[in-house]
């Protein structure tokens, strides 16, 4: 049982919001880390720093004259790079980068999120476990880091490792298991 607050204690507590602190930034960081199953806070901070640098670059490019050749060249290079990485859904104007380049957009390109979207795993946390156990490869390279960022081109080469029991069970389910693969 909690004692009744005194008058001055009650007045002080009216001014303090215990649910949202200024330092928490509205719990945005914790929400993103939980939604995309980011295990290291440093990864979130790196993504945040990269997004800030991209916005800063876009702002500096927008300060150049509109008919400048260097501005148009670098704007198109930046937009193409962000589109090819998968951070942008379409090639936009440089002025729209302020709202589109976010930490969530970078997190959507992480390997576990891509695996979940491609129906290779039901949940992001399950995909993280599969990646850490070494069941996933991109091209010939086995990936064991869940923070691996997958570009649009690399999505096509995302598959199971040949020696993975998951791949064997999928092939067995589809009746595509070859006896030669068992050797």
pLDDT confidence of 156, banded at 50, 70, 90? Answer: very high
Model confidence band, residue 98 (pLDDT cutoffs 50, 70, 90): confident
The first and second tokens of residue 43, run together, are 């990864």
pTM for the full predicted model: 0.79
User: Mean pLDDT, to the nearest integer, of 119-125?
Assistant: 95
Q: Is the pLDDT of residue 173 over 90?
A: no
- The mean pLDDT of 35-58, rounded to a whole number, is 93
Q: Which sequence spans correspond to the domains of the chain?
A: 25-107, 111-182
Confidence of residue 158 (pLDDT cuts 50, 70, 90): very high
Calpha distance 67→36 (Å, rounded): 41
Tally of CB atoms within 10 A around 22:
7
On the question of pLDDT at 15 being above 80, the answer is: no
- Give the pLDDT confidence score for residue 90 in this predicted structure: 84
Distances (CA, A) of 75 to 60, 97, 106, 152: 11, 11, 19, 20
* Spatial CA neighbour of 116 closest among 50, 43, 33, 35: 35
pLDDT at 3 over 60: yes
What residues contact residue 87 under an 8 Å CB cut-off, 6+ apart? 100, 101, 105, 106, 109
Cα–chain center distance at 166: 25
- Using H for helix, E for strand and C for coil, what is the string for 152-168? CCHHHHEEECCCCHHHH
- Beta bridge partner(s), residue 159: 137
6-20, 112-126, 152-166, 167-181: least confident range:
6-20
Query: Is residue 133 scored above 80 in pLDDT?
Result: yes
**By 3-state DSSP, what share of the chain in percent is helix, strand and coil, each rounded to 5?**
55, 5, 40
Quick one: pLDDT band at residue 18, thresholds 50, 70, 90? Answer: low
- CATH class entry, domain 111-182: alpha beta
């Amino acid at each position: 049982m909690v004692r009744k607050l005194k008058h001055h204690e009650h007045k002080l507590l009216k001014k303090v919001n215990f649910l949202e602190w200024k330092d928490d930034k509205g719990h945005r960081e914790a929400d993103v880390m939980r939604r995309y199953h980011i295990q290291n806070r440093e990864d979130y901070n790196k993504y945040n720093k990269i997004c800030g640098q991209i916005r800063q670059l876009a702002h500096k490019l927008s300060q150049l004259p509109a008919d400048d050749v260097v501005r148009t060249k670098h704007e198109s290079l930046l937009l193409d790079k962000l589109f090819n990485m998968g951070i942008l859904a379409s090639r936009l104007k440089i002025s729209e980068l302020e709202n589109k380049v976010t930490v969530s957009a970078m997190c959507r390109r992480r390997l576990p999120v891509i695996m979940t979207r491609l129906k290779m795993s039901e949940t992001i946390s399950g995909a993280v476990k599969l990646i850490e156990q070494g069941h996933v490869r991109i091209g010939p390279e086995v990936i064991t880091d869940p923070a691996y960022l997958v570009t649009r081109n690399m999505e096509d080469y995302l598959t199971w490792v040949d020696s993975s029991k998951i791949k064997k069970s999928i092939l067995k389910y589809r009746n595509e298991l070859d006896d030669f693969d068992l050797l």
